[in-house]
Amino acid sequence: MAREIKFSLLYRDMWQSSGKYVPRADQLQQIAPVIIDMGCFARVETNGGAFEQVNLLFGENPNAAVRAWTAPFKKAGIRTHMLERALNALRMNPVPADVRRLMFKVKKAQGTDIARSFCGLNDPRNLRPSIEYAKAAGMTAQAAMSITYGQVFTEDYYVTLADRLVDFGADEICLKDMAGIGRPAFLGKIVKAVKDRHPKTVIQYHGHSGPGFSVASMLEVARAGADYIDVAMEPLSWGTSHPDIITIRAMLKDAGFTVADLRMDAYMEARRLTQAFIDDFLGYFIDPSNKQMSSLLVGCGLPGGMMGSMMADLRGMHSAINAALRQNSKKEVSLNDLVVQLFREVEYVWPKLGCPPLVTPFSQYVKNIALMNILFMAQGKPRFATIDKDSWNMILGKMGRLPGELAPEIIALAKQNNLEFYTGDPQAPYPDALDEYRKEMKEHNWDTGKDDEELFELAMHDRQYRDYKSGAAKERFEKELEQAREKAGAPITVTRPVTEVPKFDAGKILERYPAAQPAQAPAKGQVLWQYDLTDTSTAPVIGTAFQKGQTLCFIQTYYGLEPVVALSGGRIVQVETKHGEQVEKNQVLAFLA
**pLDDT tens track for 282-328:** 999 887 877 888 887 887 787 765 665 677 677 778 888 988 899 99
Same domain for 210 and 272: yes
CB 123 within 8 A of CB 401: yes
Q: Which of 261, 290, 319 is the last residue of a domain?
A: 290
pLDDT in tens, 260-274: 999 999 999 999 999
E strand map for 201-254: 202-207, 228-231
Same domain for 465 and 391: no
Same domain for 270 and 312: no
Look over the chain and give the mean of its residue pLDDT values, rounded to a whole number: 88
Q: What share of the chain is helix, strand, coil (3-state, %, to 5)?
A: 45, 15, 40
Is 482 a domain residue? yes
Distances (CA, A) of 62 to 179, 371, 495: 28, 36, 20
**Does residue 199 have a cis peptide bond before it, meaning omega lies within 30 degrees of 0?**
no
Is 1 a domain residue? no
Strand ordering across the sheet containing 551-557:
560-565, 551-557, 525-528, 582-583
Confidence of residue 559 (pLDDT cuts 50, 70, 90): low
pLDDT in tens, 470-527: 999 999 999 999 988 888 876 544 433 333 434 445 555 555 555 666 665 556 677 7
Residue 240: per-residue pLDDT:
86
pLDDT in tens, 96-118: 999 999 999 999 999 999 999 99
Residue 546: per-residue pLDDT:
79
Q: 337 pLDDT exceeds 70?
A: yes
Is 496 a domain residue? no
Same domain for 163 and 213: yes
pLDDT in tens, 107-147: 999 999 999 999 999 999 999 999 999 999 999 999 999 99
Same domain for 479 and 382: no
Residue 533: per-residue pLDDT:
37
Q: Which residues contact 54 (CB under 8 A, 6 or more apart)?
A: 21, 22
Give the range of the structural domain holding residue 154, as residue numbers without chain letter.
Answer: 6-290
* Helices and strands, number each (H, E), in the chain: 22, 16
Confidence of residue 551 (pLDDT cuts 50, 70, 90): confident
Q: How many domains does the chain have?
A: 4
CATH of residue 16's domain is 3.20.20.70
Is 498 a domain residue? no
Closest listed residue to residue 328, CA positions, set 378, 375, 374: 378
Same domain for 114 and 166: yes
Residue 503: per-residue pLDDT:
47
Is 426 a domain residue? no
Residue 515: per-residue pLDDT:
60
Is 588 a domain residue? yes
If one counts every other C-beta atom within 10 angstroms of the C-beta of residue 296, the result is 15
Same domain for 160 and 23: yes
Is 561 a domain residue? yes
**What is d(CA 345, CA 384) in angstroms, rounded to the nearest whole number?**
12
520/408: higher pLDDT? 408
Same domain for 273 and 211: yes
Same domain for 177 and 71: yes
Same domain for 383 and 271: no
User: Taking the model in full, what pTM does it have?
Assistant: 0.80
Confidence of residue 406 (pLDDT cuts 50, 70, 90): very high
- Average pLDDT on 48-56 reads 87
Same domain for 312 and 172: no
Distances (CA, A) of 327 to 178, 333, 377: 39, 14, 12
Distances (CA, A) of 13 to 49, 147, 233, 490: 9, 17, 11, 27
pLDDT in tens, 184-240: 999 999 999 999 999 999 999 999 998 999 999 999 999 999 999 999 999 999 998
Q: Which residues contact 131 (CB under 8 A, 6 or more apart)?
A: 117, 141, 143, 165, 168, 169, 170
Residue 541: per-residue pLDDT:
60
Three-state DSSP class for 248? helix
Q: Which of 416, 445, 479 is the last residue of a domain?
A: 416
Same domain for 534 and 440: no
CATH of residue 543's domain is 2.40.50.100
Is 425 a domain residue? no
Q: 418 pLDDT exceeds 60?
A: yes
